[in-house]
Amino acid sequence: MNATEAWARLEPKLAYFRDRVRSLEYEPVRKNSFVAYTVERDSAYADQDGQRLLMMSGYSYLGLAGDERVVAAAKAALDLYGTGNHGVRALAGSTPLHEDLEAEVARFAGRERALVFGSGYAANVGTVGALVGPGDTVFIDKYDHASIVDGCKLSGATVTRFRHNDPGHLERRLAAAPDTGVRLVIVDSVYSMDGDIAPLVDLRKVCDAHNALLMVDEAHALGVIGATGKGIEEHFDYEVKVDVKLGTLSKAIPSMGGWVAGSADLIHHLKYAARPFLFSAALGPAQAAAALEALRILQREPQRVEFVQREAERFRGLLHAAGMSTVDSETAVVPIIAGSDTAAYDYATTCRKNGVIGLPVVTPAVPNDLARLRIAITAAHTTADIDFAADAFITSARECRII
Ligand code: PMP
């Protein structure tokens, strides 16, 4: 086979995204995808093409991305340890900062031990792969994050999906599957596209009745739900406990990396069995230091969590009063449904004209006809920002005939 033939066989794969992107290649898409913003430190504003806009789609829920204490901690780590870790954790990749960070995560999560990965994605893929394999069964919510889905596929376990936030359907799925091997149920605590919360107490009951372990991904829950931002167990007043808790350091915690918290036994197992941990470089020292400092600030400044919860509620109220739907959102993530992919891009462009950035989420990330702007309320916003944003989203929705 010559090289031309080899490339020709790849062509249908390359063509898919090339053609898809080309079909969407008009101004609204160009302005709303893969855009390089200059985000102002310590504020919620961003500059694009010389226009100063209020950022309403960022993930830094607690407004700590530009915090001077977090930045200072990262700089100090750079000075002390340099820019990289020169390898995997098992072989020369650990610094005392990584160990301090793991101890702090474990304390925060209320567990014996924690392990930090290079990303939240790697934490999910590695943890699922270390817990289940051929002969085991994983039960996942239809809206679980892609990194959970990918971890399940790679693990070789049998994968069963249940209807979103439907413990009754999960129960039927568990009852129908052979009751052998490890049975693992995985849900997101907060769903990143809808901003709704998993029904933890009922899920726990179903798991207990069917010999299943329960794992939660707290990516959008840490710092966001629970009276002090401790996540889904605190949100449900510690009525029940999960078996495996996992999250990222890239959202409310403004760094990079992922974490898992659990018993000493579980973490010991993951250290050797989670391949993205064992075979991939650790997060850099500056990232570890930033995460550690932000986690400490989160615990000292619970008013950030309260602000986000209160203002998200108020923001939803303003949209509802104008006749807009925010679907089932009850957290900092507030979706505004536009309809088709094109409608979402057009709506985002109109919002931009009116001073706010709301980034479109389109297929395949969300179902057909449910393309939306994914809005996130953060502690970098002021109450005046929230009022301004609500006004801009409502005015834009009228202009685009969404309401
Ligand atoms: N889980 C969920 C629910 C997420 O939303 C994300 C990121 N979008 C991840 C895991 C992956 O985290 P990271 O970006 O830190 O790899």
Model confidence pLDDT, tens digit, residues 105-143: 999 999 999 999 999 999 999 999 999 999 999 999 999
Name the strand (E) or helix (H) holding 361. strand 359-361
pLDDT given for residue 99 in this prediction: 96
Catalytic residue numbers?
192, 220, 251
pLDDT given for residue 24 in this prediction: 63
Can you tell me the distance from the alpha carbon of 30 to that of 24, in angstroms, rounded to the nearest whole number? 8
Q: If you measure from the C-alpha of residue 120 to the centroid of ligand 1, how many angstroms do you get, rounded to a whole number?
A: 5
Could you read off the pLDDT tens digit of each residue along the chain, which spans 403 residues? Answer: 677 999 999 999 998 878 776 666 667 776 777 777 677 777 799 987 788 999 999 999 999 999 999 999 999 999 999 998 778 888 888 899 999 999 999 999 999 999 999 999 999 999 999 999 999 999 999 999 999 999 999 999 999 999 999 999 999 999 999 999 999 999 999 999 999 999 999 999 999 999 999 999 999 999 999 999 999 999 999 999 999 999 999 999 999 999 999 999 999 999 999 999 999 998 999 999 999 999 999 999 999 999 999 999 999 999 999 999 999 999 999 999 999 998 999 999 999 999 999 999 998 888 879 999 999 999 999 999 999 999 999 999 999 999 9
Alpha-carbon 39 to chain mean position: 20
What's the burial of 276, exposed, middle or buried (CB within 10 Å: 0-12/13-18/19+)? buried
Q: If you measure from the C-alpha of residue 145 to the centroid of ligand 1, how many angstroms do you get, rounded to a whole number?
A: 7
Report the residue count for the chain: 403
pLDDT given for residue 259 in this prediction: 98
Ligand 1 contact, 127 CB (< 6 A): no
pLDDT given for residue 32 in this prediction: 72
Ligand 1 contact, 255 CB (< 6 A): no
Residue having the nearest C-alpha atom to atom 12 of ligand 1: 120
Which residue has tokens 């994605």? Answer: 121
Ligand 1 contact, 32 CB (< 6 A): no
Q: Tell me the pLDDT tens digit for each residue of 391-400.
A: 999 999 999 9
Interface predicted TM-score (ipTM) over 0.85: yes
Q: Which amino acid makes up residue 243?
A: D
Ligand 1 contact, 121 CB (< 6 A): yes
Domains and their CATH numbers in the chain: 24-55+302-399 (3.90.1150.10), 68-300 (3.40.640.10)
Ligand 1 contact, 251 CB (< 6 A): no
Q: If you measure from the C-alpha of residue 219 to the centroid of ligand 1, how many angstroms do you get, rounded to a whole number?
A: 6
pLDDT given for residue 238 in this prediction: 98
The closest-lying atom of ligand 1 relative to the alpha carbon of residue 188 is 3
Ligand 1 pocket test: which of 147, 218, 256 has the largest number of ligand atoms within 8 Å of its C-beta? 147
pLDDT given for residue 25 in this prediction: 62
The closest-lying atom of ligand 1 relative to the alpha carbon of residue 122 is 16
Residue having the nearest C-alpha atom to atom 15 of ligand 1: 120
Ligand 1 contact, 120 CB (< 6 A): yes
The token pair that represents 172 in the structure block: 């039927």
Can you tell me the distance from the alpha carbon of 360 to that of 365, in angstroms, rounded to the nearest whole number? 10
Encode 109-137: b = buried (16+ Cβ within 10 Å), e = exposed. Answer: bebebbbbbbbbbbbbbbbbbbbbeeebb
Ligand 1 contact, 198 CB (< 6 A): no
